[in-house]
Amino acid sequence: MLLVRAFAGLIFLFATIAVVLFGSAGTLHFGRAWMTLAVFFGCAAAITVWLWFHDKALLERRVKAGPGSEPDPIQSVVQALAGLVFLATFAVPGLDMRFGWSHVSLAVSLAGAGMIAIGFLIVFLTFRENTFTAGTIEIAEGQQVIVTGPYAIVRHPMYSGALVMVAGIPLALGSWFGLLPVALLVPVLVWRLMREEALLLAHLAGYDEYCDRVGYRLVPMFW
């Protein structure tokens, strides 16, 4: 059953992140970690349920995501790198908590949790607008250029939302040093984005006109 597979993936991700986070922290007594996990997986679960009721085709595409599902072997490498860096955004704050490297106020951590929620909101708005936002880089039958919603602002809003969300994770966890792996994630994401855009330009009718209409790929007024 699709919903069972989707939640099984979420449970596996939760377990993996929990092991990395609490293992690196060396304790389960880490209140900001529990808050971060609650916000992250609460948002992820809510989007999953919404997709189940409103867009099962997209949920199926998202469930198939991952390094092994990429048609392009290079993208499998990119996905694997992104996954490792993503886990590092939890591992470094865990080590930070264990050794006391950072002193982050509760207000900053709450702002970080808000960034996670905002990032997921951007992703949700992207999913709602475009049923073809698969987890792999490919052109699906019947796919069309989307120019409404967040696509009217940037050409790759799902990546924009992911960046906001990931940047919020170390702040929510109370770690300045956790922003280092976030910085490493940016070139990996840009690499993937550029290869995806090349495919869309070559094979998706009307995408070149869309690029002329919306000039920013990832960050409004910047790039």
Q: Angle, nearest 10°, between helix axes 31-54 and 73-99?
A: 150
Q: What pLDDT score does 66 carry?
A: 56
pLDDT at 30 over 90: yes
pLDDT at 67 over 60: no
Q: What pLDDT score does 81 carry?
A: 85
pLDDT at 68 over 60: no
CA 95 to chain centre: 22
Please, where are the H alpha helices in the chain?
Answer: 2-25, 31-54, 56-63, 73-99, 106-129, 157-172, 179-203, 207-213
Q: What pLDDT score does 76 carry?
A: 76
Task: Name the burial class of residue 175, with classes exposed (0-12), middle (13-18) and buried (19+) by CB atoms within 10 angstroms of its CB.
Answer: buried
- Mean pLDDT value of segment 152-177: 96
pLDDT band at 121 (very low <50, low <70, confident <90, very high): very high
pLDDT at 195 over 90: no
How do residues 171-189 score in pLDDT, each as one tens digit? 999 999 999 999 999 998 8
Q: What pLDDT score does 114 carry?
A: 98
Q: What pLDDT score does 208 carry?
A: 92
* Mean pLDDT, rounded, of the chain: 92
DSSP 110: H
- Rounded distance, CA 81 to CA 17, Å? 16
Q: What pLDDT score does 29 carry?
A: 95
Residue 96: φ, ψ to 5°: -60, -45
Longest dimension (CA), the chain: 53
% of the chain beyond a pLDDT of 90: 73
